[in-house]
Amino acid sequence: MKKLNLDLKAAGKKRLLQLNELDELRMEAYVNSRIYKERTKKWHDMHIQRSEFMVGQKVLLYNSRLKLFAGKLRSRWSSPYTITQIFPYGAVEITHDSKRTFKVNGQRLKYYWGDDFSKEKSTVHLRPSE
């Protein structure tokens, strides 16, 4: 019975078909992965908020190394820095009062509006309507 069912040519052809199907599945997975990455990149690029910085402007720097439980209510934005130079592709050179200068990615910066606000308090008295 085993000798009758053992056809080496048919088994070889079947094995080649299986290997070809496996290659097709692998290529399809590769193409799907590429499509997924392109769509993810497009979505990510649409949601990036571009900021135009100028030399001499004050900015805050995002501190991504702040630990979760070491003062979790602490602000992740560190003190105002001054922009000294702007490089292409979003790189920005900033300096602090201690005259320490370094380059950072422009996406880690946001405008510092602290000097523009008046510090006077105002009160509004509300009367009940008659």
Quickly count helices (H) and strands (E) in the chain.
2, 5
Instruction: Kindly report the pTM of this predicted structure.
Output: 0.53
Enter the tokens of residue 14. Answer: 């079947």
Query: How many Cα atoms occupy the beta-carbon half-sphere of 76 within 13 Å?
Result: 12
Mean pLDDT of the chain: 84
Question: Does the pLDDT of residue 72 top 80, yes or no?
Answer: no
Contact 127, 119 (CB under 8 A): no
Of 34 and 48, the one with more pLDDT:
34
What CATH class has 58-111? Answer: mainly beta
pLDDT value at residue 115: 66
pLDDT tier at 82, thresholds 50, 70, 90: very high
pLDDT tier at 1, thresholds 50, 70, 90: very low
Q: Domain boundaries in the chain?
A: 8-46, 58-111
Cα separation, 55 vs 100, whole angstroms = 16
Cα separation, 16 vs 37, whole angstroms = 32
In degrees to the nearest 10, what's the CA dihedral of 73, 78, 79, 81? -160
